[in-house]
Structure 1
C-alpha cells in the first residue's frame, strides 16, 4: 500500500498532509506503521505507538503515581473530562486515558495528526478501544456543548541549548511546527476562561510562572512541574 492510500484509509486528506511536509521530511510505511523520517538522515525518524515501547510500559505501571495524573485529578470525582489542548504526539493524552479520564485532544498540524490517527487505528485494531477523541484543529476554535472539567496545556517551547540532547521525535516535531514557542500567555488566559474546574499547565521545572499568575498549587518532578489553577 502506498503512503497516500494508507492516509486515505485512515480517513485523512493525503494531499493536504503531503503538502504540509517540509522538503527535508518524508512519510513512509513499514509493516503497516506510518513513520516520519528525515530524507537526508534516514536514522532520524519517529512514529506514534500506544501499543509498545516506553509509553506503553508507563501506562501499565503505577499510573496513578504519575505527576500528570495527580495534577489532573479532581477529588471525589471519576471519569473526569480533560481537553489536551496541545496534544503533540499524544503521550500525555494517552496516559490520562489509561488513568480513567475522558480525554479529547487537539493537534493543529496535519502531519502530526496523521501520525496520531495511525497510532489510534492500530490501537483500535489490537484492543477494540479508542483512547481519546482527536481533532485536527486549534483548541481555541472548538465549540463543544459542554467545556471539559480540566484543560491541560503542554506548550511547545523553543529548543534548548544546543549542548542539550533533544529526543529524535521532538526534533522532528519542532521542524514541523517551527521553533517558535506557542503564545503561552494567551493560551493560559483562554484556558482559564473555558475550563469548568481547573487548568493544568506543564512547565520546565525552573521556568517562570506564566503571566506572574500564582497557581493554586504545584506538583514538581525532576525535569518538569505542573502548575494547577482552580477555576472554581
Structure 2
C-alpha cells in the first residue's frame, strides 16, 4: 500500500475517534471529564464497554440502540464521527507539508466543535476559540510571515466595522464576529469575504427551503438559527478549494 494512502486512511480513523471525543466533550462540558470520565448510556446510566464505543461501527451493529436498555441513541453521533473522519482524510490529501497538515486538522477540529456548540447552545465559547486560534495563528505566521499591505489593512478595518455593526443590530453573534476576525488574520481578507458570502448564501438557501416545507409552523413561531454550521461549511469549501480565491 502506498504510504500516503496508508497515512490518509489512518488519519480518517483518527478523525472518527476525535469526532467521538468531541461529542463527549460537548455532552460533558469539559475536556477533562471527556478524557477521564467513563461513557454511560443517557437513559439507563449503564457504563459502556469499549466495544460499545467504536465510532460508527458500534452504532451500526447495535442498530442505533443501547445494548442494555434498547434506548435509541442520538442519530447525529455516527454522522459527526464519519464527518470528522472524512474531513481529516481531506486534510491529509490537501496538506503539502507536516505543518500544513497540523494546521488543517486544527482548523477542522475548530469548525466541528463550534458547529456542535452553536447547535446545542447558540454560542461559540471563547475557550474553544482561544484553544485552537493561538496554535493556528502561530502555524500561519511560521509558514507564511505576515506582510503589511495598506489596501488589505483598510479593507480589513471596513470589514471589521461591518461585522461589529451587524453584531450591534443582532444580526451576528459575538462568537461569529470573533471567528471572522480570526479568519481575517489566518486566511486573509479575500478568503474571509468569500466565507461570509458563501455562508450567508447557504444559510439563506436553508432558511427558504425550511420555510417552504414548514411554512405554517414558522408563521406562528420564529426559529432561532445557529450560524456557525454555515460558516463551517463555507470555510471548508474555501480552505480546501484554493482556486476559488
TM-score (norm 2): 0.29
Tell me which protein shows more strand as a share of its residues: 1
Tell me which protein shows more helix as a share of its residues: 2
Q: In terms of Rg, which structure is larger?
A: 2
